[in-house]
C-alpha cells in the first residue's frame, strides 16, 4: 500500500483565498461553492475516490527575464536568486496541498522565455488547467507581449478549459506611484484577456503565497465540480484522461522534461 507523506502545515488551505484586485478577478467569492463543499464532506463520495490525490497542471509563460523561475522558486523553496540563469526548455515543481480537507497537488511548469527554446517549451503547454502569464512591472513592454504568450498557450488547449492569470513581478523595484500606474494598465489588459491580475515580488515574497493559494483553490474547486458533473468520482484532468491514465501521461511528460532539462 502506498502512503503519501503528510502535507506541510503551511500548505493547508481551509478558507477560500481572496483575489488581489476585484476589478480583474476570476471569481468574486468568499467561500467554496456549496456543491463543492458537499462533495468534499460526503464520506461516501470520499470513499469512491474524491479524496484520492488530484493533480492540476499550471504552465508559467512570459518573456525572458521577467521572473518566472524566481516566482516559482519563492513559492516552492522560499528562496530568491538575484543572478539570472535562463531556463532551458522547461522545468517543473510539484506542490502538495490540503484543500477543504482533501489532498491536492499542483504541477507548476516553468517554461523558457528565450525564443530559441520556445519550441521545446511550447510542447508542454498541452493539458494545462491553469495558464500563468508573467510580465515584469519594471519593463512595461513585457506587458504588451503577454497577450501573445497567452494565445500560444491557449492554442495548445481545449477552449474554455483553463483558468488564466496575469502576474506582474518585481513590484519591489517600483515606487508606489509607478506601481499604481502599472497596475492600472495591467488590470485593463487582464480584463481584456479574461484573466485574474496579481502584483507580486519574488524578492520580498509579497503576495507570492497568496497568489499560488488562489490558483490552487480555483483549480481544485473546478476539478471537484467537473467531476460531479460527470457523475463519477474519477477526476478528469489535463486533456481528458482519467486521473490514473493522466498520471501515466504526466509521468512520461515529467520523464521527457527531465531529459530536456538535463
Ligand X SMILES: Nc1nc2c(ncn2[C@@H]2O[C@H](COP(=O)(O)OP(=O)(O)OP(=O)(O)O)[C@@H](O)[C@H]2O)c(=O)[nH]1
Residues in touch with ligand X (CB under 6 A)? 64-70, 81-84, 86-87, 112-114, 169-170, 172-173, 201-203
Q: Which of 8, 4, 22, 11 is nearest to 220 (CA)?
A: 11
Q: Is 229 exposed, middle or buried (0-12, 13-18, 19+ CB in 10 A)?
A: exposed
Cell numbers at 142, concatenated: 513585457
* Residue 62 C-beta: closest distance to ligand X, Å: 6
* Residue 124 C-beta: closest distance to ligand X, Å: 13
* Residue 156 C-beta: closest distance to ligand X, Å: 18
Nearer to ligand X, 203 or 214 (CB): 203
Nearer to ligand X, 128 or 223 (CB): 128
Nearer to ligand X, 68 or 214 (CB): 68
Helices (H), 131-242: 141-144, 146-155, 176-193, 208-230
* Residue 187 C-beta: closest distance to ligand X, Å: 19
Nearer to ligand X, 38 or 86 (CB): 86
Q: Is 78 helix (H, G, I), strand (E, B) or coil?
A: coil
* Residue 174 C-beta: closest distance to ligand X, Å: 10
Q: Shortest Cβ contact with ligand X: which residue?
A: 113
E-strand ranges in 53-183 read: 54-62, 90-99, 102-111, 130-136, 163-169
Rounded to an integer, what distance in angstroms lies between the CA atom of residue 17 and that of residue 235? 23
Q: Is 124 helix (H, G, I), strand (E, B) or coil?
A: coil
Rounded to an integer, what distance in angstroms lies between the CA atom of residue 259 and that of residue 262? 5
* Residue 66 C-beta: closest distance to ligand X, Å: 4
* Residue 27 C-beta: closest distance to ligand X, Å: 26
Neighbouring CB atoms inside 10 A of 43's CB total 9
Neighbouring CB atoms inside 10 A of 39's CB total 21
Query: 115 CB contacts (<8 Å, ≥6 apart)?
Result: none
Rounded to an integer, what distance in angstroms lies between the CA atom of residue 161 and that of residue 140? 29
Rounded to an integer, what distance in angstroms lies between the CA atom of residue 181 and that of residue 177? 6
Amino acid at each position: 500500500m502506498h502512503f503519501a507523506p503528510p502535507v506541510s502545515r503551511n500548505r493547508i488551505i481551509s478558507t477560500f483565498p481572496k483575489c488581489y484586485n476585484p476589478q480583474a478577478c476570476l471569481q468574486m467569492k468568499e467561500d467554496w461553492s456549496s456543491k463543492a463543499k458537499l462533495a468534499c464532506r460526503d464520506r461516501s463520495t470520499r470513499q469512491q475516490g474524491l479524496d484520492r490525490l488530484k493533480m492540476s497542471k499550471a504552465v508559467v509563460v512570459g518573456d525572458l527575464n521577467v521572473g518566472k523561475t524566481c516566482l516559482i522558486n519563492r513559492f516552492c523553496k522560499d528562496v530568491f536568486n538575484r543572478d539570472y540563469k535562463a531556463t532551458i526548455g522547461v522545468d517543473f515543481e510539484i506542490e502538495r496541498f490540503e484543500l477543504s480537507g482533501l489532498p491536492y497537488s499542483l504541477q507548476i511548469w516553468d517554461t523558457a522565455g528565450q525564443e530559441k527554446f520556445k519550441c521545446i517549451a511550447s510542447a508542454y503547454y498541452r493539458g494545462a488547467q491553469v495558464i500563468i502569464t508573467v510580465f515584469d512591472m519594471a519593463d512595461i513592454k513585457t506587458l504588451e507581449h503577454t497577450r501573445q504568450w497567452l494565445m500560444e498557450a491557449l492554442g495548445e488547449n481545449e477552449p474554455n478549459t483553463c483558468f488564466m492569470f496575469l502576474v506582474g513581478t518585481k513590484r519591489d523595484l517600483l515606487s508606489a506611484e509607478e506601481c499604481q500606474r502599472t497596475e492600472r494598465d495591467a488590470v485593463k489588459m487582464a480584463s481584456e484577456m479574461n484573466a485574474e491580475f496579481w502584483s507580486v515580488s519574488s524578492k520580498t515574497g509579497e503576495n507570492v503565497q497568496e497568489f499560488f493559494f488562489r490558483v490552487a483553490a480555483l483549480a481544485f474547486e473546478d476539478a471537484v465540480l467537473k467531476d460531479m458533473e460527470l457523475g463519477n468520482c474519477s477526476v478528469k484532468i489535463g486533456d481528458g484522461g482519467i486521473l490514473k491514465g493522466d498520471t501515466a501521461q504526466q509521468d512520461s511528460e515529467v520523464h521527457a522534461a527531465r531529459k530536456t532539462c538535463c
